[in-house]
Every structure is written in C-alpha cells, then in structure tokens.
A and B are shown apart, each in its own frame.
Chain A
Amino acid sequence: EVQLVESGGGLVQPGGSLRLSCAASGFTFSSYWMSWVRQAPGKGLEWVANIKQDGSEKYYVDSVKGRFTISRDNAKNSLYLQMNSLRAEDTAVYYCASGEFEIGGYPTYFDYWGQGTLVTVSS
C-alpha cells in the first residue's frame, strides 16, 4: 500500500523558516517525480514545486521561487521542502503528492497524496 506521510508543519513567524518532510513507502520512490501541493484555509489547490527522480530537475510556482527549495533523498525514501522567508500568504496545508504516469518524462496527475501538514505563518 502506498503511503505518504508529511511532517514538520507548525506555527512560524513571518520571515522565519520551516522544513517539511514526506516519508514514502509502498512504492519505488526513486522512480517517481515528487511534488508539493498546498491549500490555504478555505481555498483551492495550488501546486508548489516538483522534483525529478534523480533530483536533476526542480520546478517551482513563481510565488515561492528563491524562497523554497525542494529536495529528496532516495536512500531514505524521503522528500523535503525547505521554506525560508515565510509570509502570511504561505499559510496552508502542504501535501506531498506523486503519480505513476508521465508524459514526455514529465509528471502528470497525482495518484497518491499524503494527509497534509499545516503551516501557519503568523506573529
């Protein structure tokens, strides 16, 4: 059974930092693109970042470029999101997500989702 378990969320002051983790099991982690998707309270879904299987390609939504860094450790079956210079608008539940199917070597839809971890940015 595929499992994605996020951790690391919490309350942080504006300008602060936080590191999210996602522990994966039940599938060959090193074979999949991995993504972070967030959802602000009462709002819709927003893709945040994704990373290729070997970490050689990383992409970010414009609003987090230069502040967030996605990374992975295939030996530990883990995905990370280092979040710096946090803003109130980064407050959201952050989901770790992945999917089996690719088009042209790029990710597509998300078969698998974690339960999410809440990040609250407030003074």
Chain B
Amino acid sequence: EIVMTQSPATLSVSPGERATLSCRASQSVSSNLAWYQQKPGQAPRLLIYGASTRATGIPARFSGSGSGTEFTLTISSLQSEDFAVYYCQQYNNWPPGTFGQGTRLEIK
C-alpha cells in the first residue's frame, strides 16, 4: 500500500500571502495525484487532479506541481475562504486510493 505523507500538519499564513503545502508518496505515483479542500462541516471538494490540472471552477490562485513522489499545492494569495484542511490522494494504485493525513491551513 502506498503511504501519502503531508507536511506540515498545520500551516499559519496571513491573508494575501502565499501558502505552500507538500505531499510525499512512499513510492512513485506518476502524476496520478489529486488535492482536495475541506471546510468544517462540509464534504471535500476536488481542487486539482493529474497533479497540476485545476478542477472546474477552481480559481487560478490554486496550482499544483510535482510528479513521482513529491508534490506541492500552492495558493498564491490567500483569501479568507481558503483557510481549510487540504488533503492529497494518490490514484495510481487501486485499491486503495490512499489519502494523506491532511494539512490544516490557518490564519496567522
């Protein structure tokens, strides 16, 4: 089973600044990686798939990069609505489509 490790567990950033979240796979997942955003009391929302393709309706300030085992989600200028928990998920090897443990993005 592929293990996904996200860092940091919590990231404190001021509105308007850039946030960089990391996700590492225990073995190569090629570019078969997705990112999700989850706000309290809500279901996750797909942000990025294929490591770097934004899902429908996702603002351009969200960008993804990486391949193989190292991936990054960057939010270029944080808006108030971006403070949430972010998860990565690999789908190169099913089952299971493993998730990372999440990064909580909080207001500094």
Contact = CB atoms under 8 A, between A and B. Distances in A.
Contact of B97 (A95, A108, A113): A108
Interface string A103-123: 100111111011110000000
Nearest to B4: A44
Interface stretch (B11-19, B66-74, B76-84, B99-107): B99-107
B101 A44 contact: yes
Interface string B29-70: 000101010100011111001000001000000000000000
B43 A113 contact: yes
Interface stretch (A12-20, A24-32, A45-53, A74-82): A45-53
B99 A44 contact: yes
Interface in A33-71: 35, 44-47, 50, 59-61
A55 to B, nearest CB: 16
Interface residues of A, number: 23
Contacts of B36: 45, 110
B22 interface: no
Contacts of A116: 43
A43 to B, nearest CB: 8
Contact of B98 (A47, A95, A108, A114): A47
Given A47-B95, A47-B98, 19 more contacts: A44-B99, A45-B36, A45-B38, A45-B99, A45-B102, A46-B99, A47-B96, A47-B99, A50-B94, A50-B95, A59-B94, A61-B95, A95-B44, A107-B91, A107-B94, A108-B97, A109-B34, A109-B89, A115-B42
Interface of A: 35, 44-47, 50, 59-61, 95, 99, 101, 103, 106-111, 113-116
5 contacts: A47-B95, A50-B95, A61-B96, A101-B49, A109-B46
